[in-house]
Structure 1
């Protein structure tokens, strides 16, 4: 059995693990990364990149059809094969050579195989042939193994071999009929993508569409999905699923309806990839989410075990995981060098934005971009708030953007601090507007100061002026 020592060992080579390892190497430490699948992780091959590639062509086509002059130039439908081909390119054809080369150039050592904790600061890596390599960390082990799709205990569901987000992102053919169980981000984005690509889509939304967002966001996305031909069934769920010998899937809903489809996609949540990590060897529960402090150190994991990204359940978003990765990398380097860790509010050694200022975009039609708290969440947190709504379509830049632009903006203001604590935008291409709101919230910029941040005219960013005018001085 081979044994090798490094300063830091990272289990999981997705975007989060890569950033942790890169950060500690830049800080002067040595790092090894362990990966059982493809280097680059979920985002590169089965989530962010391929799914947005599936959505983008349809979005561009809809945008062209909303502009006189451009509309007349568009005479054909989507080329599905070309869309899938572009998706394949963004997924690097499910080959990780490029990412492996990047690890080598960054001075990070890759160990392929299943990594398991075997004791304090010890990781055993079982390779494809069964050979075991023992890695020992001088300073820290970081778990960055992410999450997988949750399959609910619906009779017959597992046996029916349903799609999860992975199969939806990597499908080689577009099913004629698709049932989507769930109505969150993955569910609504894939319903949008596959209806655009030609599927007849049925969406089962037990708790409404985008239930975690502002209510108007879910309402607008629901209306748009229905206009696109998606059958959105609100307040119902699948109670049984069966795939017959011919390959068709039969779904029975709670209200007694029977739906037949070619594929069924389950998108109802995520579960942590911690079931086979050897957590029990260090006194932790296998299969559980890993609770961490703001320096990403695992509760009950001693002074050496950290967890970043989805696996700690703070914010299941790639960009937030990478943010945590930078913070934990700096923490480990600082502690290894005996430096004082700056763990105050907004300090660089802590991850606090994932509790206070999380930006997110849902790439449906229309897009939903949000950051911070919804009005309901702000009230639940005990804040004294004022909600400011504005018709985004009434902004001059929006009218220029496309004919009949429809959208809505909501600003949530903490009345005691006179600062923004939440902002939601719904409309075409609002994704590019959300970072300004993120800066305002993270910077705790007073409303009186925001009056001096003058938006260019005529752009959709003029919504900032209209929200402030509606709020008043």
Structure 2
């Protein structure tokens, strides 16, 4: 191999958590692997999304929880120590350096090329390096595109001149704006509204629809909206942003035109209006694909529109489940698939097989780190109805569980479990309430294992913990079944 032309078994474009795991799994399968990255190893999650956002939110939620515990309220009165919160955030992001990630790549025998990679025909990747040179990488078996997503902006004239916040600015900012407008009602919007309101901003949320977290069970968005209002957030539903401008220069307030409604003034404006595939400059046209689009894949993550099966798209870029942990799952599956195919081994691609992406459609877990927390996995009631699944819906007030009473005075929470009527298995779970994110893995295991509901009577929850909600749900389901009442 030369400095300008190298051959590997696998070339991975993008070194976020997904790309790193693809490279790790293919290397573990005995293949030579190289990863290409133009920014920091660790990607969006490590430096501008999951890690910094949760670091900003952790002090907020911990203080809120403490205020609900008798004997602690007085100790946590007063504002947050903003410099300390920012310092904690910076530490969790390793001060925006990736030396430890480079060391890890070396430990798993994966090469690294820093620069902007793009496809240049079948199995070919050209990298414009940081030093100004060019490296051509040839893949014997597979190229894996793991480039993730970028913020999807609405079509508003002059938006770029306003310098709006995206998730990157919202998680790395070093000042607290007096007034922050948040456009959107999804996960990023509610998490950042929660964080910045607590840090001292007056937050106004501009939601085009009529609900927060509209893809989840309706009660989840309703409970989060209630808590945001109690915290002082100004929530405006059915509101469309029609224009933005900084009328007096770069450092002046943003004037936000609304329909309906009078214009709104804010010091910063965050657009949390969805994600778009990061594929615009990837050279997709050289392999017959449309630049800038999502990359549809089969259940082994092969791109369906490319012949010969050498191109894979793993993680957010395939639009199957846009979450870091699901990207890692996909990477483990894809890495195993690439390794097996390279060795000519048969694939275990049946439902829940080692080479099948079953969880993408059956058991995708998600946590929204707000107050209250929201955690869900599997189907929602709306999805069950849309797909014709026959399910029993079992609801329970988590605040009635002894562990919740111990956790916080005045605990407010709700659980919903969907049980497949024909198979007697759990197919969907939603929890809302303080601390419920730690219940999510048990729910995910139930769905992935397809354990019969009757077996769950032998899974004994410890007393007094919030996990006793599972016992209460089973009792509710049994009592309804005995009475003949539709669940």
Is the Cα contact below 8 Å between 1:165 and 1:186 reproduced in 2?
yes
> SS in structure 1 opposite 2:156?
coil
Normalising by the residue count of structure 1, what TM-score does the alignment of the two structures yield? 0.99
What is the rounded CA distance, in whole Å, between the counterparts of 1:190 and 1:331 in structure 2? 37
1:47-446 → structure 2 map (5 Å cutoff): 47-207=49-209, 208-244=211-247, 245=249, 246-302=251-307, 303-446=309-452
Provide Cα deviations, 1:248-272, integer angstroms capped at 9, x if missing partner: 1011111132110000000010000
Structure 1 residue 285: Cα displacement: 0.8
What is the rounded CA distance, in whole Å, between the counterparts of 1:282 and 1:328 in structure 2? 20
Structure 1 residue 446: Cα displacement: 1.1
Is the Cα contact below 8 Å between 1:151 and 1:268 reproduced in 2?
yes
Provide Cα deviations, 1:28-76, integer angstroms capped at 9, x if missing partner: 1110000011111000000000000000001111111111112233344
Q: Which has the higher mean CA deviation after the structures are superposed, 236-245 or 272-281? A: 236-245
Q: Which has the higher mean CA deviation after the structures are superposed, 262-271 or 69-78? A: 69-78
> SS in structure 1 opposite 2:212?
coil
What is the rounded CA distance, in whole Å, between the counterparts of 2:172 and 2:397 in structure 1? 37
> SS in structure 1 opposite 2:120?
strand
What is the rounded CA distance, in whole Å, between the counterparts of 1:358 and 1:257 in structure 2? 40
Query: Structure 1: 5+ residue runs without aligned partners?
Result: none
Aligned to 1:24: 26
What is the rounded CA distance, in whole Å, between the counterparts of 2:418 and 2:207 in structure 1? 27
Structure 1 residue 413: Cα displacement: 1.4
Is the Cα contact below 8 Å between 1:10 and 1:142 reproduced in 2?
yes
Corresponding residue pairs, total: 473
Provide Cα deviations, 1:152-191, integer angstroms capped at 9, x if missing partner: 1123323211000111011011111000000100000000
Query: Structure 2: 5+ residue runs without aligned partners?
Result: 482-487
Structure 1 residue 247: Cα displacement: 1.8
> SS in structure 2 opposite 1:119?
coil
Instruction: Name segments (4+ residues, structure 1) moved above 4 Å.
Output: none
Aligned to 2:466: 460
Structure 1 residue 237: Cα displacement: 1.8
What is the rounded CA distance, in whole Å, between the counterparts of 2:326 and 2:77 in structure 1? 41
Structure 1 residue 419: Cα displacement: 1.1
Aligned to 2:484: none
Provide Cα deviations, 1:297-333, integer angstroms capped at 9, x if missing partner: 0012221000100000000000000000000000011
What is the rounded CA distance, in whole Å, between the counterparts of 1:326 and 1:445 in structure 2? 24
What is the rounded CA distance, in whole Å, between the counterparts of 1:369 and 1:150 in structure 2? 25
Q: Which has the higher mean CA deviation after the structures are superposed, 446-455 or 281-290? A: 446-455
> SS in structure 1 opposite 2:109?
coil
> SS in structure 2 opposite 1:124?
strand
> SS in structure 1 opposite 2:182?
strand
Is the Cα contact below 8 Å between 1:155 and 1:239 reproduced in 2?
no
What is the rounded CA distance, in whole Å, between the counterparts of 2:78 and 2:393 in structure 1? 43
Structure 1 residue 128: Cα displacement: 2.4
Structure 1 residue 389: Cα displacement: 0.7
What is the rounded CA distance, in whole Å, between the counterparts of 1:93 and 1:187 in structure 2? 24
Aligned to 2:485: none
